Structures are given as structure tokens and as C-alpha cells.
Amino acid sequence: MLIDAHKQSSRREVMSGEELQLSGDEVRPVAVALANETCLRILSLLSKRDLDVSTLAEKLNLTEPTVSVDIQELQNLGIVTVTYAKGKRGIRKICKLAKDRICIKLR
């Protein structure tokens, strides 16, 4: 489930420090992403160090397009950030965690 970038800016998400705080309707898309095994594996790898999409795909034994879709979803949710750097054969898409924690407010 992808969140449109325009929707993301209008969400009532409160970010403090390295924590993403969620409540109400904004919890569901994050829960769906976290239920995705590939997304969890990506987050686990990124918790150790920043990686480009090619390296993530290699470590996960997946194709780059598959990893890119999940990275885009995590980026739209504000969990991962992406920068670009020159690579040996073009541009590398470098991924890193945007937040260390996700907090779901129940009330």
C-alpha cells in the first residue's frame, strides 16, 4: 500500500527526534508495510548501515525492481530516506533509515 507524497504531507504524523509517532488512520499503512517480510528484511539490513538498492537486492536475493518498490513504500511512509550518488555504472540509490523507532499511540 503506497501513500501519495501529497497525502503524506497532510497526515497528522508527529515526528520527534528519531521517532515516528502514529495514531488513528495513519497506523494501518505502516502496519501493512511492517507485515511485509521483504520490508522487514530491508529495515533489518538498513539498521546496520546505509545500502544502495543493488546491494540490498543482492543480499536479499531479489531483483532490484522488487526492492525498489518496497523502498519507495518505506520512503513514502517516512521510515526510509533515499539519496543518490555516482556509481560505477550510473547513479546509485542510497537508502538509510529515517527513524530509529515507530510509536503507535492507542489513545
pLDDT tens digits along 60-96:
999 999 999 999 999 999 999 999 998 888 899 999 9
Give the CATH number, domain containing residue 73. Answer: 1.10.10.10
- Provide the whole-model pTM: 0.79
Count of Cβ atoms closer than 10 Å to residue 21 Cβ? 16
Cα distance between residue 4 and residue 40, in whole Å: 21
Number of domains the chain is built from: 1
- Residue 54's domain comprises 5-105
Give 2-51 pLDDT, tens digit per residue. Answer: 333 333 433 334 343 488 999 889 999 999 999 999 999 999 999 999 99
The CA–CA distances, whole Å, from 16 to 5, 36, 42, 78, 89 equal 20, 25, 23, 12, 38
Q: Give the per-residue pLDDT at 47.
A: 94
